[in-house]
Amino acid sequence: MTEQLRLMAVHAHPDDESSKGAATMAKYVSEGVDVLVATCTGGERGSILNPKLQGDPYIEEHIHEVRKKEMDEAREILGVRQEWLGFVDSGLPEGDPLPPLPDGCFALQDVDEAAGRLVKLIRDFKPQVITTYDENGGYPHPDHIMTHKITMVAFEAAGDPEKYPEAGEPWQPQKLYYNQGFNRPRTVALHEALLERGMESPYGEWLERWKQFERRERTLTTYVPCADFFEIRDKALIAHATQIDPDGGWFRVPMDLQREVWPTEEYELAKSRVDTSLPEDDLFAGIRNN
């Protein structure tokens, strides 16, 4: 295929792009693929998760601006382009019963109306492949679930000239994937490898929580080899300083062990308009040679 390959990753908040599929994006950038991250919200209601920054009055008051700067830094590290869809973070409701979502937030938007912004971006950028979250959002944050909903609508509508005529000339993406990097086989493999080497594993609590909740095992269809880009992934994630503790569990697995035991990032092929054989090792399988 002589046409430029383009990948769009649709995420809920700044930092999601660096924790889900970042090494894959960096790999494709290194191969000359044009990669665009669509960020649905500004992360305005996100908590400050890095204990070293908690209690900083400037960050607390200017969290939107701080997270925008973090996103700019992560974007540069990954080598991707990035656009904001401009919705307002819904926050993660906590308590029993759960409180109502705040007025005007992303998760309370009309799905078809909200999808129009993404349709316009798809038609402008013209990606062959889109990645996003599954129907559970990867985890049940209302913004992640809403991101799934608008992406599903936009994937189908972008190529339909009768839908969203104000959003530009139709463009039909060929494949849609769900990020599935936080899967049980990967977690078990890394957990057992650490224990076998006499090392402490940060995954014990994860696996116990998995046992407590009934959770359908996802179908992993696509394993993208990207171990050479794990360090770039981690640098991009650390750039989101309010959201990640550089001394936390995310970074406790030695890089050499990660590359040896699980050198891929995983996806679930949700929609395809091209023929492909499963399992795949390339998000553009079936597209490159068409």
Is 13 labelled a binding residue?
Answer: yes
Is 16 labelled a binding residue?
Answer: yes
Angle in degrees, CA 288, 281, 251, rounded to 5: 125
CA atoms of 234 and 135, how far apart (whole Å): 26
**Helical segments of 95-141, H only:** 111-125
**Helical segments of 197-250, H only:** 204-212, 230-239
Residue among 180, 76, 167 at smallest CA distance from 126: 167
Give me 222's structure tokens.
């696509």
Backbone angles phi, psi at 29, to 5 degrees: -60, -45
Q: Exposed (0-12), middle (13-18) or buried (19+): which is 32, by Cβ within 10 Å?
A: exposed
Contact 193, 261 (CB under 8 A): yes
CA atoms of 206 and 185, how far apart (whole Å): 12
CA atoms of 244 and 247, how far apart (whole Å): 9
Residue with the two structure tokens 């200017």: 62
| Helix/strand/coil for 84 | strand
User: How many other C-beta atoms lie within 10 A of the C-beta of residue 132?
Assistant: 30
Is 148 labelled a binding residue?
Answer: no
* Known binding positions for Zn(2+): 13, 16, 144
Q: Pick out the residues of the known binding site.
A: 13, 16, 144
